[in-house]
């Protein structure tokens, strides 16, 4: 039996699971969720790092959330993590550098008790540290978890994560996302991204879009939470856009912590902010994001401003594992005018229980290059907000374009 036939059979199985379970998983779990625009602020990079966030974190909106943030950290982080954060905070600049470390100190001061610097350090590693408490009955999006599922076997041969013998067994699946870079019929690049992370309301309520400025001029815009000095996606006008997806389930907590302590690695979101500050073009962004020590594996999805500029970087901790571009069509039925990435390497099948890849591609092909719409509105309506690309885990959606004349940064939270 050929490898191509096996992949085709797996794809048919995934499509079948998606269709058969569509109504079960779509329904009221998310359909009635309210869409809210993310508030926007400016941040002056010419100020000392400790001063940059104070005018934001000191506002009543964020001050009213700090007790709930503290409780969230206490409830969700594995036992023993906060003491490690306390160790790190003693030399926060040593681990995160003067710029980001200084911003963390300033955020801790601006928030004030009950939040301390150790809490801010933990917030900044939340994607590397948190156990989300998903289990086999609730992590799925498109179908049931199936024993010996080829997609699961490809990424977890022991089946300890994808298939659970004990339905109460907890599994970790942080930062699941869908990112799409697409070129419309006029050669304009649009970048859509959904964050599927089960973010609690208190964290969603402190998410912001930040215009990072020097000399009173915005050099890039990024989305983050007040307390989190990295960005989850961003765009540099005239340069590029970038988003981040989890790879290999975000890695294991202890390995991530050791990577930080021993190798002075930074989080992928901090690395992405560095790219937005220091790279100016699509090619420079690809080079920047393909290098450097990251705490955990991830995917960077990059869009440019010229026709054909779209790529995915599959990152290992120390380097790019693979880079592929818009016109390479690595996935079955994928067309050359877009690149679509969820949380699995293109050379492996996806788990039946989490196949956002197949229907995402089907919806992109149905929409076509003519259908992306002004400011990517139809990309939002016809793909990013359609099940299962949008699902009951989806917290946040953005449509962005870095083009000079078509610059777009429309950023939204899905409220319960």
Give the residue-averaged pLDDT of 241-247. 94
Integer angstrom CA distances of residue 56 from 82, 105, 173, 186, 377: 25, 14, 31, 39, 30
Which pLDDT value is given to residue 74?
A: 79
- Mean pLDDT in residue range 315-336: 94
79 in any annotated domain: no
Q: Is residue 405 part of a domain?
A: yes
In a domain, 278, yes or no: yes
Alpha-carbon gap, residue 7 to 357, rounded angstroms: 14
144-201 confidence digits (pLDDT tens): 777 778 888 887 777 776 766 555 444 444 447 999 999 999 999 999 999 987 777 8
Residue 218, strand partner residues: 213
Confirm whether 224 is domain-assigned: yes
Confidence of residue 12 (pLDDT cuts 50, 70, 90): very low
The CA distance from 400 to 408, in Å, is: 5
Q: Is 60 exceeded by the pLDDT of residue 18?
A: no
Q: Write the pLDDT tens digit of every residue in 85-124.
A: 666 655 677 777 789 999 999 999 999 999 988 888 878 8
pLDDT at 331: 94
39 belongs to a structural domain: no
How far apart are alpha carbons 90 and 94 in whole angstroms? 9
Q: What pLDDT sits at residue 248?
A: 78
Q: Does residue 95 contact residue 142 with C-beta atoms inside 8 Å?
A: no
* DSSP-assigned letter for residue 312: E
User: Per-residue pLDDT averaged across 298-315, rounded?
Assistant: 97
CA distances from 18 to 29, 340, 356, 375, 404 (A): 16, 17, 9, 29, 39
Predicted pLDDT at 260: 55
**Residue 192, domain member (yes or no):** yes
- The whole domain housing 208 covers 175-415
Residue 309: pLDDT above 90?
A: yes
Task: Kindly report the average pLDDT of the chain as a whole number.
Answer: 83
Pairwise pLDDT comparison (18 vs 32), residue with the higher score:
32
pLDDT band with cut points at 50, 70 and 90 for residue 342: very high
- pLDDT on residue 6: 32
Is residue 166 domain-resident?
no
Classify residue 76: in a domain, yes or no: no
Name 275's Cβ contacts closer than 8 Å, sequence gap at least 6: 242, 285, 288, 289
290's tokens: 């393909």
CA-based max dimension of the chain:
64
Q: Which CATH number does the domain housing residue 180 bear?
A: 3.60.60.10
Strand order in the sheet with 320-325: 40-44, 207-214, 217-225, 233-236, 240-246, 298-303, 310-315, 320-325
Tokens of 373: 């719409």
Q: What angle do CA 211, 217, 219 make, to 5 degrees?
A: 55
Q: pLDDT class for 388, splitting at 50, 70, 90?
A: very high
Instruction: Report which of residues 416 and 191 the model is more confident about.
Output: 191
Q: How many domains does the chain have?
A: 1
What pLDDT is attached to residue 72? Answer: 84
Say what percent of the chain tops pLDDT 70.
76
């Amino acid at each position: 039996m050929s490898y191509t036939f096996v992949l085709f059979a797996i794809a048919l199985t995934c499509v079948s699971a998606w269709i058969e379970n569509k109504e079960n998983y779509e329904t009221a779990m998310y359909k009635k969720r309210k869409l809210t625009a993310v508030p926007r602020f400016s941040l002056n990079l010419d100020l000392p790092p400790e001063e940059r966030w104070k005018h934001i974190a000191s506002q009543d909106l964020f001050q009213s959330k700090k007790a709930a943030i503290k409780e969230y950290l206490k409830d969700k982080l594995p036992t023993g993590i906060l003491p490690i954060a306390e160790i790190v905070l003693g030399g926060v600049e040593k681990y995160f550098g003067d710029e980001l470390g200084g911003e963390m100190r300033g955020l801790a001061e601006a928030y004030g008790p009950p939040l301390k610097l150790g809490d801010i350090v933990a917030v900044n590693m939340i994607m590397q540290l948190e156990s989300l408490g998903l289990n086999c009955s609730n992590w799925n999006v498109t179908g049931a978890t199936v024993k010996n599922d080829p997609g699961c076997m490809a990424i977890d041969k022991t089946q300890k994560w994808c298939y659970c013998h004990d339905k109460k067994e907890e599994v970790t699946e942080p930062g699941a996302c869908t990112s799409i870079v697409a070129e419309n019929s006029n050669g304009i690049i649009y970048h859509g991204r959904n964050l599927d992370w089960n973010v609690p309301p208190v964290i969603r309520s402190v998410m912001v879009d930040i215009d990072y400025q020097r000399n009173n001029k915005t050099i890039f815009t990024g989305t983050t939470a007040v307390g989190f000095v990295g960005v989850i996606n961003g765009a540099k006008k005239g340069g590029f856009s970038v988003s981040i997806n989890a790879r290999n389930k975000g890695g294991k907590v202890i390995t991530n912590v050791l990577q930080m302590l021993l190798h002075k690695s930074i989080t992928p979101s901090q690395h992405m902010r560095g790219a937005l500050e220091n790279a100016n073009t699509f090619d420079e962004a690809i080079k920047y994001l393909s290098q450097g020590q990251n705490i955990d594996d991830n995917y960077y999805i990059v869009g440019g401003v010229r026709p054909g500029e779209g790529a995915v970087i599959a990152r290992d901790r120390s380097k790019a594992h693979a880079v592929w571009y818009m016109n390479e069509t690595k996935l079955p039925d994928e067309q050359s005018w877009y690149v679509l990435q969820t949380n699995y390497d293109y050379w492996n099948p996806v788990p039946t229980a989490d196949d956002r890849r197949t229907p995402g591609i089907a919806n992109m092909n149905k929409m076509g290059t003519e259908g992306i719409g002004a400011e990517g509105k139809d990309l939002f309506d016809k793909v990013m907000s359609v099940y299962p690309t949008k699902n009951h885990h989806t917290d946040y959606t953005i449509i962005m374009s870095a083009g000079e004349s078509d610059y777009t940064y429309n950023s939204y939270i899905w409220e319960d």
